[in-house]
Amino acid sequence: MRKSCQHIPPVALVVAYVFWRVARHYAKDNPAIVTAAQIVLVVVAVGWLVTAVAGWLARRPGPGLGIPTTPEQWQELAQNWEQQRQERAAERQRRKQARKVADRAFMCDELPGAPDEKRSAQTDEGRLGRAGLPVLRSERELADWLGVGLPRLRWFTHHKPVDSVSHYVRYTIPKRNGGRRTILAPKTELKRLQRKVLHGILDLIPASEASHGFVKERSIATNAGMHVGRQVVLNIDLTDFFPTITYPRVRGLFMAFGYSFPVASTLALLCSECEREPFDRGQERLYVSVGPRALVQGAPTSPAIANLVAWRLDHRLVGLASKHEFGYTRYADDLTFSGDGIDGALRILSAAGRVIADEGFQINRDKTRVYRRSSKQMVTGLVVNDQVSTPRELRRRLRAIIHNAAKAGLQSQNRDSRPDFRAHLLGQIAFVNEACPEHARRLKEDLASVPD
């Protein structure tokens, strides 16, 4: 018998056990006696076990393992527990702060998610340096470079299928050939961040030589000028150009620049958005995504990103055109080939369809056109038969509208009920100015003399 267990010797267990067996045998008709015997046995057994364990702990070597027996020992134990609790709380706070500044591991990945080799991509400082791009190693450095707090940046780049806030203003404008075009214009703060990305990163990467849309010192006139005086002009239009460039493709572009997976993902989220529909739930308005996240018309970064994503498409189509002695240019989603043989144009049309599909785009068959020399050859709205010029019908229509407005008032000619008819006419005159600046100057002077 151990000294620490002498308070309840084993003989007490034997007596309690015998009492319980006797009660079960001789008092089985009296449940109260049997229950009392069971309770006595359990209490004696538990008491002996607790005493035995306490004695064993008291004899173990080492600090803090004994059972306190004095108020001083209990106070010391309480102080140790309080210190350990504070240390655990400090560790939790440290980990919480570390999670706040650490790069996110999940970035709007569509199932089944990004491959491991992409997630493990690190910052390539050499590649960034050669391109003259800012070296941004983490989301924290990106936020500092943008001049915004990290929580604020994550608020702009946190993708939600259903959100209570929309960072874009949605409206529609009429298309030239009918229908409505959806514009998503970023709100003021987001637009400022996107412009920082545009001027600080995207503008430093040159677009392909074949691209004339949204490129400095290039325009619809320079695009059309490459196809003047050719026997055959082939126009191909791409369907849903911006929506086709989805979030994973934008992220891949920034990773190709040399940015790590978290930084590239954050930049891609900053420059893309879903098509959303408003939904009212009680007093709350929600915005529900109805499509994949992609480039939107209205963001200042979308044209530059689209040109860079289409760089390999342009490179392959330049090679295809050169093979058949044709020229090639692209203005946004308008692809133009020109040369001197109809057979070459047809072969290009067949092969270009495969190249375009291979690069992740689609041809709008309804807008594919082949113009011969004997017809009016159009490139991005301009005539290129002998020289670059605006269509004669457009200039005559504008002169007629301004002439009639001088007699009957400007609003008498607003047959489509446009909200700002003068601004509409000025936009048409600006288009004329691209190829016929002298005609545009006279039209603008005549319009200025017409009262509202």
pLDDT in tens, 166-197: 999 998 887 767 678 889 999 999 999 999 99
Which residue has 């001049």 as its token pair?
147
Containing 277, the helix (H) or strand (E) segment is strand 276-281
Distance in angstroms (rounded) separating the CA atoms of residues 293 and 25 = 79
Instruction: Return all residues near 421 (Cβ < 8 A) that are at least 6 apart.
Output: 410, 411, 413, 414
* DSSP state at residue 158: -
Beta bridge partners of 169: 185
Task: Report angle CA 244, 250, 251 to the nearest 5 degrees.
Answer: 140
Distance CA 99, CA 104 (A): 8
CA end-to-end span of the chain: 114
Pairing of strands 327-331, 334-339: antiparallel
Radius of gyration from C-alpha coordinates of the chain: 39
pLDDT in tens, the chain (452 residues): 444 444 456 777 777 777 777 777 777 777 787 788 778 878 888 877 877 777 666 665 545 445 667 888 888 888 888 999 999 999 988 887 777 667 776 666 554 466 667 777 899 999 999 999 999 999 999 999 999 999 999 999 998 889 999 999 998 887 767 678 889 999 999 999 999 999 999 999 999 999 999 999 999 999 999 999 999 999 999 999 999 999 999 999 999 999 999 999 999 999 999 989 889 988 899 999 998 999 999 999 999 999 999 999 999 999 999 999 999 999 999 999 999 999 999 999 999 999 999 999 999 999 999 999 999 999 999 999 999 999 999 999 999 999 999 988 898 898 888 888 999 899 999 999 988 899 999 999 999 998 87
What is the token pair recorded at 430? 């600006």
Q: What percent of the chain has pLDDT over 70?
A: 90
Q: Is 292 left (phi over 0), alpha (psi -120 to 50) or beta?
A: beta
Are the CB atoms for 349 and 361 separated by under 8 Å?
A: no
Let me know the angle formed at the C-alpha of 69 by 63 and 72, rounded to the nearest 5 degrees.
75
Report the amino acid identity of residue 107. M
Rounded Cα distance between 117 and 128, Å, is: 20
Q: Is the dihedral of CA 45, 50, 51, 53 positive or negative?
A: positive
Task: Give the tens place of pLDDT for each residue, 78-101.
Answer: 888 899 999 999 998 888 777 766
Distance CA(347)–CA(320), nearest Å, equals: 10
Rounded Cα distance, 272 and 107, in Å: 13
Secondary structure element (H or E) that encloses residue 284, with its range: strand 284-289
* 79 Rama sector, left if φ>0, alpha if ψ -120 to 50, beta otherwise: alpha
**What percentage of the chain carries pLDDT values higher than 90?**
63
> Is the whole-model pTM more than 0.85?
no
